[in-house]
Amino acid sequence: MTTVSASSPSLVLYTSKRCPYAQRSEIALYETNLAFRSEHIDLDNKPSWYASKINPASKVPVLVINADAGPTTEIKLPESLVISEYIAEEYADQLGESALLPAEAIDRARVRYLIERFSQVIAWGNIRSAMEKQDAEENVRLQEALLQFQAMLPPTTSGVAGTGVGPFFLGNRYSLAEVAIAPFFGRLMLASSKGLLPNSKVHLERAVTTEDKFARLNAWWNAVRRRPSFEKSFDEGALVEYYSRRVAEGQKSK
């Protein structure tokens, strides 16, 4: 991985390990090999100063640029895709072929479309509904959605941008497509593997990892989840604890 110059601005990321949107920003920072400081926000008990000083929307993530320079010169960037695209574009020249966005405008557009389409086909709200409401029908719908997402991935014999044989959307080139999608896909696979999705005839994680009809998706997922950037930013223990509690609370409220 290419190392970015030590003259890069000081960076602070306000984040939460349980938030898939925040994980996008962490992955982008790790992939770019940028030094940054994490400030973890308790989403159930946010500090009183957070909305007034960091983000009026009171959400994570927020990336603070030039954080050591003081409030008059620092820049606060909210929203995960805004942050991830800033990182991808700001450091593209230094990273060369490892940049998170390809050089050609049409290929950048394709990456952005895949991200948008994934959020339509496999909405985060649907994943949460399957867990928290234990909606078995949603579980079945999610399997169909996974097949739709798989159909968007080109064969492993060619990437969209002709970057060579490989498992990613752009062939052998990891990109912003994976950065943006992996946190949500990872949580879906985790919930399924830990029995946090409703009982139904469909076991999503087992289907993706063992059934021939998901071979292309499994190749993509195996490559994505083994990236050091994903492993460092995906706190499986904390997520299982949090989602187990949410499932239990949802069952009590019925």
Write down the domain spans for the chain.
11-98, 105-252
- pTM for this predicted structure: 0.93
pLDDT reported for residue 4: 43
pLDDT per position as a tens digit, 5-52: 445 679 999 999 999 999 999 999 999 999 999 999 999 999 999 999
User: What is the rounded distance in angstroms from the CA atom of residue 10 to the CA atom of residue 17?
Assistant: 21
Angstrom distances, CA of residue 151 to CA of 49, 179, 216, 238: 45, 19, 9, 32
pLDDT reported for residue 34: 93
User: What is the rounded distance in angstroms from the CA atom of residue 167 to the CA atom of residue 174?
Assistant: 9
Residue 70 identity (one-letter amino acid): G
Which helix (H) or strand (E) segment holds residue 75: the answer is: strand 75-78
Tell me if the bond preceding 102 is cis, omega within 30° of 0.
no
Residue 67: CB atoms within 10 Å: 20
Superfamily of domain 11-98 in CATH is Glutaredoxin (3.40.30.10)
pLDDT reported for residue 163: 55
pLDDT reported for residue 87: 96
pLDDT reported for residue 164: 64
pLDDT reported for residue 202: 82
Instruction: Name the residue with tokens 């601005």.
Output: 9
Nearest partner of 145 among 125, 167, 120, judged by Cα? 120
Nearest partner of 147 among 174, 127, 118, 176, judged by Cα? 118
pLDDT reported for residue 135: 87
Q: Do domains 11-98 and 105-252 have the same CATH topology?
A: no
User: What is the rounded distance in angstroms from the CA atom of residue 198 to the CA atom of residue 196?
Assistant: 7
CATH topology of domain 105-252: Glutathione S-transferase Yfyf (Class Pi); Chain A, domain 2 (1.20.1050)
**Hey, CA dihedral for 115, 103, 216, 1, is it positive or negative?**
negative
Residues 6+ apart with CB under 8 A from 161: 102, 104, 107, 110, 170, 171, 173
pLDDT reported for residue 252: 78
Most distant CA pair in the chain, distance: 57
User: What is the rounded distance in angstroms from the CA atom of residue 84 to the CA atom of residue 19?
Assistant: 15
Nearest partner of 40 among 12, 72, 68, judged by Cα? 12
Positions of the chain with pLDDT lower than 70, given as ranges: 1-8, 157-164, 254
